[in-house]
Amino acid sequence: MKKLLLLATLLSASAFAQPPMVGQYLLRVEPVRAGFTFQNMTDDERRLLTEHAAYLKGLLDQGKLTLAGQAFDPKGLFGIIVVNASNPQEAAALLNGDPGVKGKVFRGEAVPFRTVFFSAAAPAAK
């Protein structure tokens, strides 16, 4: 029994040591311009953010977007976008296809990601 338990432990440990196969990538985007806020956008930035929102909605409609949200860190605003992609190149193409990235309002990176638990947000308190 001890040998069986040891074998199971070794096999499971090696599974965790391997990089996970993922079909999701986290795109972390942040404004290029220091001090960027939604209150001080230029007209060009506002136009590109409208295109950015439409692009994300399109990805959602195509089943390529799991979630997108904004983080209001006191050190600076950033966005988190989780996309469904089969490889890093596809994830990078989704990031680089974003009008906000193409228009140099945002810069970003794509990192492998896996949703483990998910729950819809509770309604905000009034």
pLDDT of residue 24: 96
121 assigned to some structural domain: no
DSSP secondary structure of 52-96: HHHHHHHHHHTT-EEEEEEEEETTEEEEEEEEE-SSHHHHHHHHH
pLDDT of residue 2: 63
pLDDT of residue 51: 98
Number of domains in the chain: 1
Residue partners of 50: CB distance under 8 A and separation at least 6: none
Residue 94 belongs to a domain with what CATH number? 3.30.70.1060
pLDDT of residue 104: 97
7 assigned to some structural domain: no
122 assigned to some structural domain: no
Q: Residue 37: which domain range?
A: 20-113
43 assigned to some structural domain: yes
97 assigned to some structural domain: yes
Residue partners of 97: CB distance under 8 A and separation at least 6: 55
33 assigned to some structural domain: yes
29 assigned to some structural domain: yes
pLDDT of residue 40: 94
123 assigned to some structural domain: no
**Model confidence pLDDT, tens digit, residues 64-92:** 999 999 999 988 899 999 999 999 999 99
pLDDT of residue 13: 52
Which of 113, 120, 108 minimizes the C-alpha distance to 84? 113
**Which of the residues in the chain have pLDDT under 50?**
7, 10, 14-15
